[in-house]
């Protein structure tokens, strides 16, 4: 493992996107930052800025109005990036499934890498999902590099 | 003679090379101590380096080329000002170049056309407006006491600056959190209000460059404060060398920064301008009167 890959595993910067559910999962994510669970020991920093973020935590059912915003935020994040859907609503649609203003889970809008189900999720589950996502970050970067190499070969 | 050259050029060069590592570790220790104060376990102390290396391995999302130039200029001017300080050049020029680095950051914020960048740049400009006159006044007082703007003259002065300029040091301590971007004066890059201020649009390795510049900056401000006590001091029969006093001064400033950072909440821009400017200027003027009355000044 190179130095960059080690440090990538040790410093995920997180952007937290609430799409407007019941706010139960939002509270559980905030509980992760408290002394009891303290995600900052993994180097997690909560940023409000998609340009600095590696990990996107999406909470709540995706409404049709919010679809564009999530897509926009996802596009602004620099590679390698990971999306975690937190809670049942974000993963499948949950209790809101079939509702008129609703378009299903987050995976209908942006590719999701880790699903953390639960209504509402426990902070331990969120941390578990985050740690899973850290391995995916490095895999993704390797894939991107391979694609780049293949492209360069094809061009030559 | 060879020994002399080694000390006058080798030691500053070594410090300049080591300063990003020292600055980064200091920021890491700061984060750890802050976490312990809040009863968290906190990130490891090498966390700032992890962040920087990660950013160098990320994709760059570039908005326009102008702000990249300003970001690089910010890093270079910070390094230049630190080099001038360590190689004992003119103190006035060092301060001006350090101010110039802030101006480049402001220009970077204005050139991105994002509202967060613009608001952050305006606030950064207001912060500069607050601390720059106080800093220059303090440098002017140092010139008055030592007789020269050269940093060498601080080393060759009869007394350490702390004895003649105690209130000026206090004024510098007040503006210290502004320069270190810490609470209560972290107005320009308030995470919670305006994403990251002038640094909002930076990503990937350009943000990494800015982080590196912050490491240099941290070392610069601590070294600047340490200039106030560079002389040997005799304590009873014990002679404490100037270097140790300098390290002690840096430690005091560092602990002060952490304590103030954790004990206070963020001020508004106008509150900062009023409070810092009035208190700082009054302290400096009292110090100036004290110097003139006791006749410690050199024309």
B138-168 per-position pLDDT tens digit = 888 888 888 888 887 777 777 777 777 888 8
pLDDT value at residue B54: 87
Per-state percent for chain A, helix, strand, coil, to nearest 5: 50, 15, 35
With contacts defined as CB-CB under 8 Å, which chain A residues touch B202?
Answer: 51
With contacts defined as CB-CB under 8 Å, which chain A residues touch B50?
Answer: 6-7, 10-11, 43
pLDDT value at residue B4: 78
Residue of B39, B44, B50, B209 to mutate, interface with A, max A Cβ within 10 Å? B50
pLDDT value at residue B76: 92
pLDDT value at residue B77: 92
Return mean pLDDT, chain A.
Answer: 86
pLDDT value at residue B192: 67
Position B188 pLDDT exceeds 70 = no
Position B206 pLDDT exceeds 80 = yes
Distances (CA, A) of A73 to A84, B113, B127, B235: 14, 18, 31, 61
Q: Give the pLDDT confidence of A35-47 residue by residue, as tens digits.
A: 888 888 888 888 8
Inter-chain contact A3–B53, Cβ cutoff 8 Å? yes
CATH code of A80's domain: 3.40.50.12280
Task: Give the number of other Cβ atoms within 10 Å of residue B79's Cβ.
Answer: 19
- Average pLDDT estimate for B95-116: 87
| pLDDT, greater one: B151 or B187 | B151
Residue of B43, B46, B64, B209 to mutate, interface with A, max A Cβ within 10 Å? B43
Phi–psi pair at B173, nearest 5 degrees: -60, -35
What pTM was computed for the model? 0.86
pLDDT value at residue B113: 81
Tokens of A47: 């940023």
| pLDDT, greater one: A69 or B186 | A69
B200 and chain A in contact, CB less than 8 A: yes
Position B1 pLDDT exceeds 60 = no
Helix (H, G, I), strand (E, B) or coil at B240: strand
- Average pLDDT estimate for B33-40: 88
| pLDDT, greater one: B213 or B153 | B213
B44 and chain A in contact, CB less than 8 A: yes
Position B225 pLDDT exceeds 80 = yes
Task: Give the number of other Cβ atoms within 10 Å of residue B230's Cβ.
Answer: 19
pLDDT value at residue B191: 67
- Average pLDDT estimate for B216-220: 89
Tokens of A132: 């899973």
Report how many Cβ contacts below 8 Å link chain A to chain B.
Answer: 82
For the residues of B85-153, what is the DSSP string, one character each?
Answer: HHTT-BHHHHHHHHHHHHHHHHHHHHHT--HHHHHHHHHHHHHHHHHHHHHHHHHHHHHHHHSSSBTHH
Between helices B205-226 and B66-86, what is the axis angle to 10°? 30
Closest residue to B35, CB basis, from A7, A40, A48: A40
Tokens of B255: 């602990």
Helix (H, G, I), strand (E, B) or coil at B30: helix
d(CA B188, CA B258): 18
Task: For residue A90, name the pLDDT band (cuts at 50, 70, 90).
Answer: confident
Q: What is the DSSP letter of A102?
A: B
The helices-and-strands tally (H runs, E runs) of chain A is 5, 5
- Which residues make Cβ contacts (< 8 Å) with residue A134, sequence separation at least 6? A8, A9, A12, A42
Closest residue to A4, CB basis, from B42, B57, B61: B57
The domain in which residue A8 lies consists of: 3-155
Position B233 pLDDT exceeds 80 = no
Relative to beta strand A55-59, strand A114-116 is: unpaired
Q: What is the DSSP letter of B160?
A: -
d(CA A2, CA B28): 22
| pLDDT, greater one: B12 or B95 | B95
Tokens of B202: 């930076």
Position B187 pLDDT exceeds 80 = no
Task: For residue B282, name the pLDDT band (cuts at 50, 70, 90).
Answer: very high
Q: Which of A1-15, A113-127, B130-144, B180-194 has the lowest mean pLDDT?
A: B180-194
Q: Could you give the number of structural domains in chain A?
A: 1
The helices-and-strands tally (H runs, E runs) of chain B is 12, 2
- The answer to whether the CB of B27 falls within 8 A of the CB of B48 is yes
- The answer to whether the CB of A134 falls within 8 A of the CB of A9 is yes
Q: What is the DSSP letter of A19?
A: -
**Which residues of chain A have a Cβ shorter than 8 Å from any chain B Cβ?**
3-8, 10-11, 13, 34-35, 38, 40-43, 45, 47-49, 51-52, 54, 76, 78-80, 141
Relative to beta strand A114-116, strand B233-235 is: unpaired
Task: Give the number of other Cβ atoms within 10 Å of residue B3's Cβ.
Answer: 8
Q: What is the DSSP letter of A39?
A: G
Q: What is the DSSP letter of B58?
A: S
């Amino acid at each position: 493992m190179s130095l960059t890959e080690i440090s990538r595993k040790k410093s995920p910067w997180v952007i937290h996107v609430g799409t407007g559910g019941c706010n139960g999962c939002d509270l559980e994510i905030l509980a992760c930052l408290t002394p009891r669970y303290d995600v900052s020991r993994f180097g997690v920093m909560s940023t409000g800025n998609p340009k600095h973020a590696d990990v996107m935590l999406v909470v709540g059912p995706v409404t049709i109005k919010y679809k564009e915003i999530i897509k926009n935020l996802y596009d602004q994040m620099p590679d390698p990036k990971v999306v975690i859907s937190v809670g049942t609503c974000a993963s499948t649609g949950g209790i809101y499934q079939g509702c008129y203003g609703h378009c299903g889970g987050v995976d209908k809008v942006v590719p999701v890498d880790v699903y953390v189900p639960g209504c509402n999720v426990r902070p331990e589950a969120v941390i578990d999902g985050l740690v899973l996502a850290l391995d995916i970050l490095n895999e993704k970067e390797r894939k991107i590099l391979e694609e780049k190499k293949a492209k360069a070969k094809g061009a030559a | 003679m060879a020994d002399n050259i080694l000390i006058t050029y080798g030691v500053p060069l070594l410090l300049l090379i080591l300063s990003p590592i020292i600055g980064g570790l200091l920021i890491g220790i700061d984060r750890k101590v802050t976490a312990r104060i809040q009863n968290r376990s906190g990130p490891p102390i090498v966390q700032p380096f992890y962040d920087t290396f990660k950013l160098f391995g990320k994709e760059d999302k570039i908005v326009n080329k102008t702000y990249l130039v300003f970001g690089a200029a910010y890093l270079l001017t910070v390094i230049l000002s630190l080099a001038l300080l360590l190689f004992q050049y003119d103190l006035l020029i060092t301060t001006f170049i350090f101010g110039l680095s802030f101006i480049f950051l402001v220009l970077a914020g204005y050139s991105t056309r994002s509202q967060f960048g613009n608001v952050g740049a305006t606030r950064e400009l207001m912060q500069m407006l607050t601390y720059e006159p106080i800093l220059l006044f303090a440098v002017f007082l140092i010139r008055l006491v030592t007789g020269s703007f050269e940093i060498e003259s601080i080393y060759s002065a009869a007394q350490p600056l702390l004895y003649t300029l105690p209130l000026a040091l206090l004024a510098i301590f007040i503006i210290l959190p502004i320069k270190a971007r810490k609470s209560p004066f972290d107005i320009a890059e308030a995470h919670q209000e305006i994403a990251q201020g002038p640094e909002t649009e930076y990503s990937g390795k350009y943000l990494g460059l800015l982080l590196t510049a912050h490491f240099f900056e941290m070392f610069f401000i601590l070294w600047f404060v340490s200039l106030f006590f560079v002389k040997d001091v005799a304590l009873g029969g014990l002679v404490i060398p100037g270097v140790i006093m300098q390290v002690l001064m840096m430690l005091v400033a560092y602990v002060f920064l952490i304590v103030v950072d954790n004990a206070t909440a963020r001020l508004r821009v106008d509150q900062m301008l009023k409070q810092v400017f009035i208190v700082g200027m009054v302290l400096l003027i009292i110090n100036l009167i004290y110097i003139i009355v006791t006749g410690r000044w050199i024309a």
